[in-house]
Amino acid sequence: MTCVDMIFWYVMAAVAVVLLVAAVTIVVGRRNAVPPAPVTPELAPAEEPTGTPAEPVEAPADAGAALETPEPPASRLTRLRRRLSASNNPFARGLLGLLSADRLDAEAWEDLEATLITSDLGVGPTDELITGLRRELAVDGASDPDRARKVLRTELLTLVGTEADRSLRVTGADGLPGVVLVVGVNGTGKTTTIGKLARVLVAEGHSVVLAAADTFRAAAADQLQTWGSRVGVPVVRGPEGGDPASVAFDAVERGIAEGVDVVVVDTAGRLHTKTGLMDELGKIKRVIERKAPVTEVLLVIDATTGQNGLAQARVFAEVVDVTGIVLSKLDGSAKGGIVVPVQRELGVPVKLIGLGEGPDDLAPFEAEGFVDALLAES
């Protein structure tokens, strides 16, 4: 029996159940003598063939006069350290407090587990970390806090991973521009991240074009335009509600024609469960690749996200082959522990971290720096 058969039964069952549900609704509805529930047919935007050409919009000509000079990225990590340690990080403190106790009893281990879970690390990685710590510390006791800290640091580093390549691939081959596609669910900070990223790229001396392929959310293109004009980067935009793939295509085409170094494509936020929208995303990538290969796909994950982050990453990785993660909003009280299971399962490294709404609050992710910042005493 072929696989098709098996699938067929599932589909049939789903159809049948849904038909039954429809019948129940109808029967019950009739019994109640109320009109049937209004039906709002939902159109998957991907199916709207709106091939309206995107109109490139120039950055205001006078933008050059008011251009801001972005802070060099190198000095940012220092700030990250300061900020992470200043944000009353109970994660780091809790761990150190626990580990410097003379003896680790069952209760202490439980608290330690609790602390890790509270940082959204997930149950799996937490167990792994605890087991690792226990094994290491069993060898020569845990009386020495320094030793405990060293072990903890090593274990955390193993979890976060140091081998991964965390550099952004922003240069294309054969004179083509590097194309960076930024994706994520709604409200994680994609547009803001792109705004900051554009500044970083400009500061590093790259020429940049932004593509406002978020044609769905109200005023998303304007938001990107504002970011772009601050650093004199042109934004290619299309009509609201237009085909995002065509905007992305136009931007890349323009990038090639003008010989710019990097094209950064902003996409509309979409929940990973919306099949139609995920198809649309796949289409955006496919359409871009007709002009130039996409060199980097960044998935933006909000640091406050819980275990659902893993489900998000899984689906996005499947649809557009995510190559890097941006952990945004790390300046709050959330620890962003969710990136650990994400990185572990998908092998996609965290490349950038967002630290606030300021224009320069974007820093490269550095496993050692990150872990050190977590462990730094306030």
Partner 1 sequence: MFDTLSDRLSAAFRNLRGKTRLTDADIDATAREIRLALLEADVNLNVVKEFIGNVRERAKGAEIHAALNPAQQIVKIVDEELVSILGGEARPLRFAKRPPTVIMLAGLQGSGKTTLAGKLGKWLKDQGHSPLLVAADLQRPNAVTQLQVVGDRAGVHVYAPEPGNGVGDPVAVARNSILQAMSKLYDVVIVDTAGRLGVDAELMRQAADIRDAVSPTEILFVVDAMIGQDAVNTAQAFADGVGFDGVVLSKLDGDARGGAALSIARVTGKPIMFASNGEGLGDFDAFHPDRMASRILGMGDILTLIEQAEKTFDAEQSAKAAQKLIAGKGEFGLDDFLQQMQAVRRMGPLSKILGMMPGMGQMKDQINNIDEREIDRIEAIIYSMTPAERTNPKILDGSRRARIAAGSGTKVSDVNSLVNRFFEARKMMQSLAGGMPGMPGVRRPAAKQQAKKKKGNHKVSGNPAKRSGGPAAAPEPTAAPASAFGQMPSEADLAKAVGDFQLPPELQQLFNPKNTGPR
> Site residues for partner 1, window 325-354 (CB under 8 A)?
329, 331-335, 337-338
Q: Decide: 281 and 266 in contact? Cβ < 8 Å.
A: no
**Shortest reach from residue 149's CB to partner 1, in Å:** 23
* Segment interacting with partner 1, rule: CB under 8 A, options 30-38, 146-154, 168-176, 245-253: 30-38
Q: Does position 66 bind partner 1 by CB under 8 A?
A: no
Q: Does position 118 bind partner 1 by CB under 8 A?
A: yes
Instruction: Give whole-number Cα distances, 143 to 24, 93, 104, 267, in Å.
Output: 66, 18, 9, 52
Q: What count of other Cβ atoms lies within 10 Å of the Cβ of residue 372?
A: 17
Instruction: Give whole-number Cα distances, 28 to 15, 19, 20, 337, in Å.
Output: 20, 14, 12, 47
Q: Does position 143 bind partner 1 by CB under 8 A?
A: no
Interface positions, 85-104, toward partner 1 (CB under 8 A) = 87-88
3-state class (DSSP) for residue 149: helix
**Shortest reach from residue 9's CB to partner 1, in Å:** 5
Tokens of 218: 């109200």
x-marked contacts with partner 1 along 148-187 as a string, rule CB under 8 A = -------------------------------------xxx
Please identify which residue in 117, 130, 164, 376 interacts with partner 1, judged by CB under 8 A: 117
**Shortest reach from residue 192's CB to partner 1, in Å:** 8
Q: Decide: 183 and 323 in contact? Cβ < 8 Å.
A: no
Q: Does position 106 bind partner 1 by CB under 8 A?
A: no
3-state class (DSSP) for residue 173: coil
Residue 253 or 331 with smaller CB distance to partner 1: 331
CA gap 233, 266 in Å, rounded: 14
CA gap 343, 341 in Å, rounded: 5
* Segment interacting with partner 1, rule: CB under 8 A, options 140-148, 172-180, 215-223, 363-371: 215-223
**Shortest reach from residue 361's CB to partner 1, in Å:** 12
Residue 87 or 343 with smaller CB distance to partner 1: 87
* Segment interacting with partner 1, rule: CB under 8 A, options 92-100, 110-118, 148-156, 198-206: 110-118
Q: Does position 377 bind partner 1 by CB under 8 A?
A: no
Q: Does position 376 bind partner 1 by CB under 8 A?
A: no
Strand ranges of the sheet holding 350-354, from the earlier edge strand across to the other edge? 55-57, 235-237, 208-213, 262-267, 178-183, 296-302, 324-328, 350-354, 362-364
Please identify which residue in 52, 60, 75, 114 interacts with partner 1, judged by CB under 8 A: 114
**Shortest reach from residue 332's CB to partner 1, in Å:** 4
Tokens of 222: 């304007």
Query: Residue 271: which of 181, 187, 182 has the closest Cα?
Result: 187
Q: Does position 125 bind partner 1 by CB under 8 A?
A: no
# residues near partner 1 by CB under 8 A:
90
The alpha carbons of the chain give a radius of gyration, in whole angstroms, of 24
CA gap 360, 377 in Å, rounded: 25
Query: Residue 369: which of 169, 87, 76, 116 has the closest Cα?
Result: 76
**Shortest reach from residue 30's CB to partner 1, in Å:** 10
Interface positions, 232-261, toward partner 1 (CB under 8 A) = 240
Residue 5 or 163 with smaller CB distance to partner 1: 5
Q: Decide: 336 and 327 in contact? Cβ < 8 Å.
A: yes
Q: Decide: 112 and 98 in contact? Cβ < 8 Å.
A: yes
Residue 37 or 61 with smaller CB distance to partner 1: 37
CA gap 323, 317 in Å, rounded: 8
Please identify which residue in 100, 154, 207, 304 interacts with partner 1, judged by CB under 8 A: 304
Interface positions, 258-297, toward partner 1 (CB under 8 A) = 271-276
